[in-house]
Amino acid sequence: MSAGGMRRAISKIFDSVAKPLAVLDRVGKILFVNARLVEISGIDARELLGQQCHWELPPDDVPHGATLVALAPPATVREGRIAARRFHQPLFATPDSMGQLFIPILDHDGVVQIVIALFGSWEDIDALLGDKSMPPMIAGRPLPDAILAEIRRRWPRLDGLAPLVGQSAAIGLAMRRTQHVASTEMNVLWWGPAGGGKRQIAEAVWSHRHGSLKLPALSGQFLAIECTLIKEELFTAMLETFVGRLRSDLPAGAQTLLLTDLQHLSESAVTRLLHIYQQQDNRFTLMASSQLAPEQWARRSKAHQDLWSLLAEMEVHIPGLRDRREDILPLCEHYLALMCRSRERALLRLREDAMELLQVYNWPGNVVELAAAMEHAVDDAVLTRTIEPQHLPVAIRTFPSAAAHAGRQDAPPIQLDDVLREVEKTLVRNALRQSPRNRAQAARLLGISRPRLLRLIELHGLHDVR
């Protein structure tokens, strides 16, 4: 039988399957969708073929984004293991889409060549798996990328809202409130410990508001004032400049004043702000972030309490990571994907022992520190597909309880700076030898930029390597 005849025969077999089904290649591109999937999704097969499936796709911005996100295989499937995923709500208007089974097809060398993604009711998936009826798990926890796929499906607007990724009840409430605020013109206050990403969230909300109003790109006004060190005279001048630029032809949602670290604003500055806001008769919206809880604001001056009341048309609490540890791994996976994409690298995976170290660390810098840790790990993980403990920042590797929690009580103290420098030097030397007189190729082998490679060559004195 010819190759074309073989493909037609296989397609006929898959089309005869009663359950929705798709076939993906090893990098997640759709090779085939059967008739049942086309039927329940209402999507023409030609619109899906060749599309890349990944949980990081923004469903609002990509045609059929929700379907492409749902079809993205978990990391364990790319390693050759069968995995299942359970949805809280059906993906399509049929019970045939409450669960998924991912079946990798391997070649003789054990390398995944294609993946079959089968939809079905969870009862059907459970029956197929037998005793292995739980979704993909690691040490009793759902796999982070399975969690992320569900989060992405539930919250189409995630752009800029990375600090709100998670599965805890508290962060779910924060996400629901923030998503609501993004579609209104109400004032809003985010509060919680430092490093929670409150300013990033506020900027994302304003961006969505501006986009939903379909205004020209440079119209509108967004002014962020950091209240920590600002003097009252400068604060008043900035307020007057902001008010002077207000336009009567723009809605309040397109003209926003953001006050970060609001707890540092003096009583007289607060009084001035309240006076200006009342004078402008709701011509602009207010956003603010604070590290103080409501009960702490209640003990401050009447002006501070009045400002809180004005801002708290919607009040959103962003808890610290130590109070929502179930969100740590999904956040790590999310930022890991963002960092890999920004560096045009293949997606790296967290090894289980690295996950355990990240899970037990106390994260004093919260989401901001976590994002920096993932950036550090991606930059350190050269010529590898996984993030391992040695790629994490020293503070995480040497955290007092890390060794005990990671099940390595007999591990020697980690003092790897000199060793890591030698490893880095060896990797750079090997890459240079594999790419004689081609620095760009060597940089690609290492998964880093050419400028960074040149800095490493200078640091390690490798100019003469050929």
Check: CB of residue 399 under 8 Å from CB of residue 350: no
Q: One digit per residue, pLDDT tens: the chain, 466 residues?
A: 454 555 666 667 777 777 888 998 877 889 888 888 888 888 888 888 888 887 665 555 668 777 888 888 877 777 677 888 777 667 777 776 778 888 888 776 677 888 888 888 877 776 666 533 333 433 334 455 555 555 555 555 556 788 888 888 899 889 889 988 988 899 999 999 999 999 999 999 998 888 888 888 778 899 999 998 788 899 999 999 999 999 988 999 899 999 999 999 999 999 999 999 999 988 999 999 999 988 888 889 999 999 998 998 899 999 999 999 989 998 998 898 888 888 888 888 899 899 999 999 999 999 999 999 999 999 999 888 899 999 999 999 988 764 444 444 444 444 555 666 777 788 888 888 888 878 888 888 888 888 888 878 877 788 777 6
**Could you tell me if 172 and 166 are in contact, meaning their C-beta atoms sit under 8 angstroms apart?**
yes
Terminal C-alpha separation, the chain: 50
Could you give the dihedral angle defined by the CA atoms of residues 250, 251, 257 and 262, in that order, rounded to the nearest 10 degrees? 170
| Separation of alpha carbons 321 and 148, rounded Å | 17
Q: What tokens does 420 get? A: 């890591």
CA distances to 165, 359, 438 from 56, rounded to whole Å, are 12, 22, 33
The closest of 382, 384, 394 to 447, measured between CA atoms, is: 382
Contact 356, 311 (CB under 8 A): no
Q: Where are the alpha helices (DSSP H) in 117-253?
A: 122-129, 144-154, 169-182, 198-212, 232-244
Contact between residue 201 and residue 160 where contact means Cβ atoms under 8 Å apart: yes
SS3 of residue 94 by DSSP = coil
Query: Could you tell me which residues are beta bridge partners of residue 106?
Result: 112
Contact criterion met (CB below 8 Å) for 90 and 97: yes
Cα atoms in the 13 Å half-sphere on the side-chain side of 427: 19
User: How far is residue 122's CA from residue 120's CA, in Å, rounded to a whole number?
Assistant: 6
Q: Which residues contact 356 (CB under 8 A, 6 or more apart)?
A: 139, 405, 406, 407
Contact 221, 255 (CB under 8 A): yes
**Where are any strands of DSSP class E within 301-450?**
315-317, 349-350, 386-387
Amino acid at residue number 200: Q
The bridge status of strand 30-33 relative to strand 21-25 is: antiparallel
Q: Are 166 and 335 in contact (CB under 8 A)?
A: no
Dist CA 157 CA 91 (whole Å): 17
Is the separation of the CB atoms in 285 and 186 below 8 Å?
Answer: yes
In sequence order, the 6+-apart residues with CB closer than 8 A to the CB of 80 are: 104, 106, 110, 111, 112
Asked if residue 267 lies in contact with residue 232, where contact means CB atoms within 8 angstroms, the answer is no
Q: Residue 55 has what pLDDT?
A: 67
Residues 6 or more apart whose CB falls under 8 angstroms from that of 354 comprise 377, 386, 387, 388, 389, 391, 392
Say what angle helices 417-434 and 450-460 make with each other, to 10 degrees. Answer: 120
- Within 10 Å of residue 417's Cβ, how many Cβ atoms? 9
3-class secondary structure, 346 = coil
Q: How far apart are CA 41 and CA 70, in angstroms?
A: 12
Q: Which residue has the tokens 């979704």?
A: 135
Give the tokens for residue 197: 């990403």
Q: What is the C-alpha R_g of the chain?
A: 26
Q: What pLDDT, on the 0 to 100 scale, is given for residue 131?
A: 39
- CA distance linking residue 330 with residue 349, whole number of Å: 12
Residue 286, SS3? strand
Nearest Cα to 191, choosing from 182, 180, 202, 176? 202
CA-CA-CA-CA torsion sign (204, 205, 211, 216): negative
